[in-house]
């Protein structure tokens, strides 16, 4: 049995600062200890557990990221984890104008233990999808769930699938009678690591608590096992974390995105 320290060590060694799949318009570069991604819905910054800088040097590093995205006219997310060093990183991000979003729990599990046969409620079918029409249907569903415009997700899925089709698998659960997408989720593979990330899992309110979320976990785990992936990782909300824990994933730390946006 892999213990939590082993899982956290594997996560820190393999999932901190990995390069994202290249795709048109996306710029991936490094600034000191940080990996910086620009040219998407919003920028993204991440780094190793210990940034190796502190005090005024850390303030300068933070300010440089903010100013980089200010000059591009883009918002940016700095992804922090609960065990990051230096410990005052969140305070310094706030001082530089970054605002925290909702904290999530990072869970990791063994793909082989999660790769069961998906069990769906009556009247629901589950498919792996690749067409732009399917991605647009997923965007409509996500916009309904979150009561926001999620068209950015449609573009992201289209670009990811076109640029690196082997590194992402998207699943949609549909009401069989109408064909409406009622839930969707995807798995992202990170070449050169033992990990894949589970993303999505939003479900229309009238279809929740019927096992669709669990079925999407199982279907993606099957894909991961077929590919030889060892670990599955999820950044989970407070609603999803208990379900994932019951399925056997282990909570190893937390993550909080700190977001800066240019003035309107």
Q: What is the pLDDT of residues 205-255, one digit of tens each?
A: 999 999 999 999 999 999 999 999 999 999 999 989 999 999 999 999 999
In sequence order, the β-bridge partners of residue 260 are 76
Q: Could you say which DSSP state residue 118 is in?
A: P
Q: In the structure, what pLDDT confidence band is assigned to residue 2 with cuts at 50, 70 and 90?
A: low
Six token digits for residue 242 = 């208990």
Q: What is the pLDDT of residue 3?
A: 83
Who's near 172: CB < 8 A, 6+ residues apart? 126, 127, 129, 134, 137, 138, 181, 183, 184
Six token digits for residue 95 = 């001082």
pLDDT in tens, 39-75: 888 999 999 999 999 999 999 999 999 999 999 999 9
Q: In the structure, what pLDDT confidence band is assigned to residue 1 with cuts at 50, 70 and 90?
A: very low
Q: Where are the alpha helices (DSSP H) in the chain?
A: 4-14, 55-72, 89-95, 111-114, 132-146, 151-163, 212-227, 240-247
Domains of the chain in sequence order: 4-105+256-260 (3.40.630), 110-253 (3.40.630.30)
Q: What is the pLDDT of residue 20?
A: 65
Who's near 132: CB < 8 A, 6+ residues apart? 154, 158
pLDDT in tens, 86-118: 999 999 999 999 999 999 999 999 999 999 999
- pTM score of the predicted model: 0.93
Higher pLDDT, 230 or 24: 230
* Residue 165 Ramachandran class (φ > 0 left, ψ -120 to 50 alpha, else beta): alpha
In sequence order, the β-bridge partners of residue 38 are 27
């Amino acid at each position: 049995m892999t213990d939590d320290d082993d899982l956290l060590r594997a996560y820190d060694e393999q999932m901190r600062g990995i390069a994202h799949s290249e795709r048109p318009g996306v710029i991936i570069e490094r600034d000191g200890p940080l990996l910086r991604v620009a040219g998407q819905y919003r920028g993204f910054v991440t780094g190793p557990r210990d940034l190796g800088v502190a005090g005024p040097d850390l303030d300068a590093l933070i300010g440089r990221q903010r100013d980089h995205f200010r000059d591009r006219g883009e918002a940016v997310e700095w992804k922090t984890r609960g065990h990051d060093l230096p410990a005052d990183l969140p305070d310094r991000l706030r001082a530089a104008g970054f605002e925290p979003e909702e904290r999530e729990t990072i869970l990791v599990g063994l793909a082989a233990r999660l790769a069961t046969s998906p069990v769906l409620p009556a009247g629901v079918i589950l498919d792996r999808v690749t067409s732009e029409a399917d991605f647009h249907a997923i965007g409509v569903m996500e916009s309904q769930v979150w009561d926001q415009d999620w068209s950015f997700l449609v573009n992201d899925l289209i670009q990811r699938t076109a640029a690196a089709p082997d590194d992402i698998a998207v699943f949609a659960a549909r009401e069989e009678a109408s064909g409406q997408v009622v839930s969707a989720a995807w798995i992202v593979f990170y070449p050169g690591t033992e990990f894949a990330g589970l993303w999505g899992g939003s479900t229309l309110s009238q279809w929740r608590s019927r096992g669709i979320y669990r079925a999407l976990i199982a279907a993606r785990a099957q894909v991961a096992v077929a590919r030889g992936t060892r670990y599955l990782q999820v950044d989970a909300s407070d609603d999803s974390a208990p379900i994932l824990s019951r399925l056997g994933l282990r909570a190893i730390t937390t993550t909080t995105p700190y977001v800066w946006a240019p003035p309107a």
